[in-house]
């Protein structure tokens, strides 16, 4: 059954690759329901230079030579720099050799590029954010005129329950809480794919087997990278299978039924001594605040992995490096 909409969703993907961001790029680039306008980068899993290089290398590996890649913020709005070498390694994408990038870096910075593409698009554009929200918050502040060109912002970040960077804060929101706060207060339609749902996107041994079975350099390289990521999750969180967070946000755009959503008021804690960067999700309406976010709480993990693995197969068949 083909559930793709008649015309693809114009999409800007802002990310910090990052193992799971890499899967988000591949899904967005391969699926016919998405028209990937550009990949923009933000410091997060690694320093800005590293994650930008990784984005270009991933696109090269996957045969996505025409992808527009632009670099954005190298630190959070408040000036902090936080990276995640314990999870993603020193390069931000450790685990397998990647080709030198054939995909160029755009002359424009990420925010300028996003503003221009939004202004030029003949249809409202969806923004998917799978890193800290620094670029998106800066876009909204510097270019308020493009707000009406944004269909919605779908972000991986936050949690209705516990965190992964502090007991209550998730990495992307914790890395730039002020940026998340601006986005949450923007009044734009928002869809949050937090840890509640991304911890259901587990790369189990069966997923490794299915990836390997595709055959070719792209799946083999992804398998090596994913093994590194799995090792980090086992070491740091004692999780036997790693959650592949970021492509869940892309899957929710491609096929809305892949997630179960509830409307809820969501705020971010900016001041708490122990809770800075935590998302406060009022699932039961106890604050009386108006819902500002669609919060994803459940994932159809089987369907999610079918989408993800089909995307990798498509790219391999299309002629990723070493593919058909
Ligand atoms: C998020 O943090 C990053 O390490 C991942 O890429 C993902 O976007 C999960 O908390
Ligand atoms: Ca990410």
Give the tens place of pLDDT for each residue, 101-120. 999 999 999 999 999 999 99
Asked whether residue 4 is assigned to any structural domain, the reply reads no
Judge whether 245 counts as a catalytic residue: yes
Asked whether residue 3 is assigned to any structural domain, the reply reads no
**Phi, psi (deg, nearest 5) at residue 202:** -90, 130
Tell me the CA–centroid distance for residue 255 and ligand 2, in Å: 20
Asked whether residue 1 is assigned to any structural domain, the reply reads no
Question: What's the pLDDT tens digit per position in 138-197?
Answer: 999 999 999 999 999 999 999 999 999 999 999 999 999 999 999 999 999 999 999 999
Asked whether residue 323 is assigned to any structural domain, the reply reads no
Tell me the CA–centroid distance for residue 116 and ligand 2, in Å: 24
d(CA 117, CA 39): 12
Contacts of 136 (CB under 8 A, 6+ apart): 14, 127, 129, 153, 155, 179, 183
Question: What's the pLDDT tens digit per position in 25-61?
Answer: 999 999 999 999 999 999 999 999 999 999 999 999 9
Asked whether residue 296 is assigned to any structural domain, the reply reads yes
Size of the chain, expressed as the number of residues it contains:
324
Asked whether residue 324 is assigned to any structural domain, the reply reads no
CB of 115 within 8 A of CB of 142?
yes
Instruction: Extract the tokens encoding 279.
Output: 């998302």
Which one is catalytic: 19, 245, 274, 284? 245
Domain count, the chain: 1
Q: What is the pTM of this model?
A: 0.97
Q: Is residue 24 in contact with ligand 1, taking CB distance under 6 Å?
A: no
| C-alpha torsion sign, points 305, 309, 311, 312 | positive
Which residue range is the domain that position 25 belongs to?
A: 9-318
DSSP class per residue in 195-239: HHHHTT-B--HHHHHHHHHH-SHHHHHHHHHHHHHHHHHHHHH--
Which of 91, 128, 157 most suits a substitution to test ligand 1, by most atoms within 8 Å of the C-beta? 157
Asked whether residue 207 is assigned to any structural domain, the reply reads yes
Asked whether residue 2 is assigned to any structural domain, the reply reads no
CATH of the domain at 118: 3.90.245.10
């Amino acid at each position: 059954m083909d559930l793709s909409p008649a015309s693809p969703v114009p999409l800007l993907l802002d990310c910090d690759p990052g193992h799971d961001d890499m899967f988000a790029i591949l899904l967005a680039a391969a699926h016919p329901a998405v028209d990937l306008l550009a990949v923009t980068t933000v410091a997060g899993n690694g320093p800005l230079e590293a994650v930008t290089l990784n984005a270009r290398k991933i696109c090269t590996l996957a045969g996505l030579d025409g992808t527009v890649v632009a670099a954005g913020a190298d630190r959070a709005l408040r000036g902090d720099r936080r990276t995640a070498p314990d999870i993603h390694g020193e390069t931000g994408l450790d685990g397998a050799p990647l080709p030198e990038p054939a995909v160029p870096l755009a002359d424009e910075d990420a925010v300028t590029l996003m503003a221009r593409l939004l202004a030029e698009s003949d249809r409202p554009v969806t923004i998917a954010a799978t890193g800290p929200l620094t670029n998106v918050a800066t876009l909204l502040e510097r270019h308020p005129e493009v707000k009406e060109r944004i269909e919605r912002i779908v972000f991986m970040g936050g949690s209705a329950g516990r965190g992964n960077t502090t007991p209550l804060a998730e990495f992307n929101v914790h890395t730039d809480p002020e940026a998340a706060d601006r986005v949450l207060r923007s009044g734009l339609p928002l869809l949050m794919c937090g840890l509640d749902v991304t911890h259901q996107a587990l790369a189990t041994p069966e997923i490794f087997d299915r990836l390997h079975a595709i055959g070719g350099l792209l799946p083999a390289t992804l398998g090596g990278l994913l093994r590194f990521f799995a090792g980090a999750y086992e070491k740091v969180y004692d999780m036997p299978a790693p959650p592949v967070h970021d492509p869940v946000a892309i899957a929710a755009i491609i096929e809305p039924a892949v997630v179960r959503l509830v409307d809820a008021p969501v705020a971010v804690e900016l001041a708490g001594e122990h809770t800075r960067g935590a998302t406060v999700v009022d699932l039961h309406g106890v604050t009386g605040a108006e819902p500002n976010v669609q919060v994803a709480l459940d994932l159809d993990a089987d369907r999610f992995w079918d989408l993800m693995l089909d995307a990798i197969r498509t790219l391999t068949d299309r002629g990723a490096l070493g593919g058909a």
